[in-house]
């Protein structure tokens, strides 16, 4: 997602993405992953991925079929976007307009590059050794992954056929686009809950809160009768916006309610401190950035907010 990344993708942070310098099994294929300055996301381009040469009509037809996606970039990182070492794919296009978005260059789908699903799956296959060695896997982020549900579903299915752990990083706003089959192929959902009230959610994203709440409840309920993905909640802490005691309490209450529906649904909450690392991207694309004077939250504020989640029995970082 385009939220501040767990300091570094939806993306800001308590953890830091680092290059991979791990011992690999004998059968692993070592590739040169994209590199980027620490703290800057999303991704570092399409290094190694072939861009499809198609006209507009062919592109739209292939995207509807899930054979082609609009991709911004990818990267190989550890400590963020799920367990172990992750190959995180950032797709283009997002219906939200978050004030603190750290990846504004992923907001428009037309700005992405057309990448065939089979090309991306071939890239994932080359990292199977890394995933095995680190208990890692694939994370599809954005932008908003559920703006391209057919492409996401095809990638998830292909990854599961390879035995890869899969994760979706989403705001949940387009949760209705996630089919049951797609969720069957999803091991982990990184669910971005951006505010606790409808008024504040609209203020920081320009959209409605309820679709996210509905999607979270759906994830919890699925596990009562079949496969229910594990859920990690992400909450971006922005002083003057999402730091109010009552607002945080409403988010914590909602998250705890998911575990009341199905115990163990939410296994982790990440409170992600706002930062200014994405500011230069707003300037580069000529978009107005409204939080130029907003400071990062203090250690005391971060701990107060984390304490509110912990008081609900939630494992919080």
Following DSSP, what letter does each residue of 77-146 receive, concatenated? EESSSSSSEEEEEEES--S---TT-S-GGGS-GGGSEEEEHHHHHHHHHTTHHHHHHHT-EEEEESS-GG
Q: Provide the CATH topology of domain 56-310.
A: TIM Barrel (3.20.20)
Question: Which two tokens mark 231?
Answer: 């859920």
- Give the number of C-alpha atoms closer than 13 A to the C-alpha of residue 46, restricted to the C-beta side: 18
Question: Which two tokens mark 21?
Answer: 């310098």
Terminal Cα distance for the chain, rounded: 18
Global confidence as pTM: 0.85
> One digit per residue, pLDDT tens: the chain, 317 residues?
655 544 333 333 333 333 333 333 333 333 333 333 334 445 556 666 666 666 777 878 888 888 899 999 999 988 789 999 999 999 999 999 999 998 888 999 988 999 999 999 999 999 999 999 999 999 999 999 999 999 999 999 999 999 999 999 999 999 999 999 999 999 999 999 999 999 999 999 999 999 999 999 999 999 898 889 999 999 999 999 999 999 999 999 999 999 999 999 999 999 999 998 888 888 888 888 999 999 999 999 999 999 999 999 999 99
CA distance 207 to 199: 10
CA distance 12 to 295: 11
Domain ranges in the chain are: 56-310
Q: How many residues can be counted in the chain?
A: 317
CA distance 260 to 168: 23
- Contact predicate 316/271, CB 8 Å: yes
CA nearest 203: which of 76, 273, 81, 291? 291
- The tokens 């932008």 sit on which residue? 143
Residues 6+ apart with CB under 8 A from 44: 34, 35, 36, 73, 75
Burial of 313: CB neighbours in 10 Å, binned 0-12, 13-18, 19+: exposed
């Amino acid at each position: 997602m385009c939220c501040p990344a767990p300091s570094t993708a939806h993306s800001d942070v308590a953890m830091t993405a680092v290059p991979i310098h791990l011992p690999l099994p004998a059968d692993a294929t070592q590739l040169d992953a994209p590199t980027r300055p620490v703290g800057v996301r999303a991704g570092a381009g399409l290094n190694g991925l072939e861009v499809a040469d198609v006209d507009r009509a062919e592109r739209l037809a292939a995207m509807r079929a899930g054979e082609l996606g609009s991709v911004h970039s990818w990267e190989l990182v550890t400590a963020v976007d799920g367990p172990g070492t992750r190959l995180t794919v950032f797709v283009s296009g997002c219906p939200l307009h978050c004030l603190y978005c750290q990846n504004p260059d992923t907001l428009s789908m037309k700005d992405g590059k057309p990448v065939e699903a089979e090309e991306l799956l071939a890239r994932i296959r080359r990292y199977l050794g890394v995933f095995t060695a680190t208990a890692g896997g694939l994370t599809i982020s954005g932008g908003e992954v559920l703006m391209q549900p057919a492409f996401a579903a095809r990638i998830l299915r292909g990854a599961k056929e390879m035995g890869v752990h899969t994760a979706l990083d989403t705001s949940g706003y387009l949760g209705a686009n996630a089919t049951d089959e797609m969720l069957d192929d999803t091991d982990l959902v990184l669910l971005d809950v951006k505010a606790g009230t409808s008024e504040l959610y609209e203020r920081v994203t320009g959209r409605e809160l309820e679709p996210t709440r509905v999607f979270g409840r759906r994830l919890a309920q699925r596990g009562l009768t079949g496969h229910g993905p594990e859920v990690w909640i992400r909450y971006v802490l922005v002083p003057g916006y999402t730091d109010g005691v009552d607002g945080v309490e409403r988010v914590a209450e909602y998250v705890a309610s998911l575990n009341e529906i199905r115990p163990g649904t939410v296994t982790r909450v990440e409170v992600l401190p706002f930062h200014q690392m994405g500011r230069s991207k707003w300037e580069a694309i000529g978009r107005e950035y409204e939080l130029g004077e907003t400071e990062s939250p203090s250690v005391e504020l971060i701990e107060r907010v984390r304490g509110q989640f912990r008081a609900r029995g939630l494992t919080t970082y």
